[in-house]
């Protein structure tokens, strides 16, 4: 389990990322095209090239939902350990 100081540092660094959507877009492109290609099949995004993925509304929606999910978790983490139960509920 991370110390509250470590959690605060992670939250601070996340807040410094100016283009969070771009960060997650690059992450999912790497996953879908290089590392976990079977994930692209699961989401119906297989056989698409990088530029096609970036334009595909399903892909853009998936990236945006993940961004909102992680941002919500980071906001709860930044409020301290008393949010642990809320985080567990979101993760379920």
pLDDT at residue 7, as a whole number: 86
Question: DSSP H helical segments within 1-92, as ranges?
Answer: 4-16, 20-30, 37-42, 50-55, 57-78, 84-91
pLDDT at residue 1, as a whole number: 62
CA distances from 30 to 21, 72, 86 (A): 14, 23, 30
Compute the distance between CA of residue 17 and CA of residue 36 in angstroms, rounded to an integer: 25
**10-residue mean pLDDT series, the chain (92 residues):** 83 95 96 92 92 96 96 88 82 82
CATH 3.40.1130.10 fits 4-91, yes or no: no
pLDDT at residue 14, as a whole number: 94
How far out from the chain centre does Cα 71 lie?
Answer: 8
Domain locations along the chain: 4-91
């Amino acid at each position: 389990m991370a110390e509250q100081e470590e959690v605060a540092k992670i939250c601070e660094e996340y807040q410094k990322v100016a283009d969070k959507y771009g960060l997650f877009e690059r992450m999912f492109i790497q996953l879908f095209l290089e590392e976990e290609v079977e994930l692209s099949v699961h989401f119906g995004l297989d056989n698409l090239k990088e530029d096609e993925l970036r334009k595909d509304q399903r892909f853009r929606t998936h990236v945006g939902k993940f961004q909102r999910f992680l941002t919500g978790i980071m906001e709860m983490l930044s409020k301290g350990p008393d949010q642990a139960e809320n985080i567990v509920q979101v993760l379920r």
